Amino acid sequence: MATLTEISIISRRTIRYGIYAVIIIVIARYAFGFGKNIYKKLFPPKPAPPTVLFGKLPALPFPGRPESKFNYTLELAEGSLPIFPELIEVYASIPEPKTNLGVQDKARAKAQNLGFNPNGKLLFDTLPNVYVFSKNGAPANLTMNIVTDLFSISYNLNEDASIFKGMPPDANAAIGQAKNFLSSGGFLTEDLKNGIATHTYLKMESGEFKPAISLSEANVTKVNLFRKPYGKESNIPPVTPEMPESNVWFIIAGGHGRQIIACEYHYFALDAGKFATYPIKTAEAALEELKTGKAFIANSGDNPDGNIIIRKVYLAYYDAGQYAEYYQPVIVFEGDNNFFAYTPAVTSEYYPK
């Protein structure tokens, strides 16, 4: 039978060896993890091949623009062109809506919810789906395609110059008002609600809106609502044919309770769960396309001398503002004075020749 002294010695040894075992296990796990990370860096796993489920993609619907020649200089903060991932997602659009028997009643209800008279009239006999809804007590009109839900708002400033009386809303108030307006008519989708919003303060000079230095000298506030970023990491922003203007924008004045005096809503829904992956061209290849005149110039900006300084090169999704079968990525060249140019991001073999 063991004595108390022997039991004490055995207990201490057991505790000591247990501590040693725990330390060894911890060190082994750390060493294994460290070694695994080094191995991954030295021998990175091959990326999954592109799914290219949609086959060849239709050409991006860039609008026609007069050709212009520019001289480009790269002055990037990173010092060199970015290295893009090997693959990127291409998303399917929800099929374009078609007319049905109840579409007129739905359009009237939407117009009324937006504050307009529901008794709309055809804009032209040749455009059977486009109606105009007037606003009681204000020289404003809502023009809506009752099938696609695309709409615009215009205000006759010649009939009511008092619309500029009072301070226009600041950025946060204007963005909130624009989103609330869309929500009231059932137009505020999740990717607009959670998207990127920008603003500009404008003043009226010689019958035109021009940028204002501050809210205090502005007559109106302009708000741009963009879709939320998409992609595998939900970090790839949208761009439009009219950057830095969105396809969904509002101009809000200070008079009459901060009225919306102009608006465009050109939005087509995506099927975010239906996508395919495609290979991406390099930034160097995209730059060569830009230099050889193969890029789409979305905005030449205020660069009358034709000398463009490129400050940013990045991936984006092209939001065409018209129906497109797929939501496709582009490589963006952004320069001084609001210069924007795009090339398709997917490699050329997946486009028609």
List, for residues 81-94, the tens digit of each pLDDT value: 999 999 999 999 99
126-151 average pLDDT score: 93
Contact 73, 309 (CB under 8 A): yes
Separation CA 249–CA 209 (nearest Å): 15
Phi, psi angle pair for 273, to nearest 5°: -85, -5
Res 206: pLDDT: 83
Please report the pLDDT score of residue 24 as a whole number. Answer: 74
Per-residue tokens: 179: 């989103």
Residue 36 has pLDDT above 90, yes or no: no
Residue with tokens 């291409």: 90
Give 280-328 pLDDT, tens digit per residue. 999 999 999 999 999 999 999 999 898 999 999 999 999 999 999 999 9
Instruction: Give the tens place of pLDDT for each residue, 234-257.
Output: 999 999 999 999 999 999 998 888
pLDDT of residue 322: 94
Q: What is the pLDDT of residues 184-237, one digit of tens each?
A: 999 999 999 999 999 999 998 888 899 999 999 999 999 999 999 999 999 999
pLDDT over 70, % of the chain: 89
Instruction: Inform me whether the pLDDT recorded for 7 exceeds 60.
Output: no
Question: Looking at residues 17-40, what average pLDDT do you find?
Answer: 67
73 forms beta bridges with: 309
Mean pLDDT of the chain: 90
Question: Does the model's pTM come out above 0.75?
Answer: yes
Q: Which residue is it, tokens 């330390």?
A: 23
With a cut of 80, say whether residue 4 has pLDDT above it. no
Who has greater pLDDT, 66 or 312? 312
Query: Which amino acid does the sequence have at 235?
Result: N
In this predicted structure, what is the pLDDT of residue 257? 82
- Given a cut of 70, whether residue 99 has pLDDT beyond it is yes
H-state helical runs in the chain: 4-42, 103-113, 171-184, 190-193, 255-258, 283-291
Cα-only R_g, the chain: 29
What is the average pLDDT across 142-164? 93
Residue 348 CA to its chain's centroid (Å): 23
- pLDDT for 116: 96
Average pLDDT over residues 5-28: 66
Which pLDDT band holds residue 140 (cuts at 50, 70, 90)?
very high
Q: How far apart are CA 84 and CA 280, in angstroms?
A: 7
